[in-house]
């Protein structure tokens, strides 16, 4: 199952790259990011390293935290 999950993540590495790029602009460490988005520091780390899929609840948290989710997933933004 772990291998299958990694293969699925590799199908869209550009999404994870744009997420890392967007989050790096916040200039926060993983603990601060976890607090901002209501997500554990460990899960933030797994998402940013591509070891975990981005869950629906994480997407909702990113939207609530005012991340440009449209850009993260499509590479295009209306901001």
Cα–Cα distance for residue pair 46/50, rounded to 1 Å = 6
> What average pLDDT score do residues 64-78 get?
93
- The pLDDT assigned to 1 comes to 45
- The pLDDT assigned to 9 comes to 53
Which pLDDT tens digit goes with each residue over 1-43?
A: 455 555 555 578 899 999 999 999 999 998 999 999 999 999 9
The whole-model pTM stands at: 0.79
**Residues recorded for the chain:** 79
- The pLDDT assigned to 61 comes to 95
The pair of structure tokens assigned to 55 is 């869950």
- The pLDDT assigned to 10 comes to 55
């Amino acid at each position: 199952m772990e291998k299958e999950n990694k293969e699925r993540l590799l199908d869209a590495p550009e999404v994870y790259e744009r997420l890392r790029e967007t989050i790096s602009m916040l200039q926060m460490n993983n603990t601060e990011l976890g607090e901002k988005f209501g997500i554990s520091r460990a899960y933030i780390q797994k998402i940013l390293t591509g070891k975990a899929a981005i869950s629906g609840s994480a997407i909702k948290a990113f939207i609530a935290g005012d991340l440009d989710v449209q850009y993260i997933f499509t590479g295009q933004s209306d901001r």
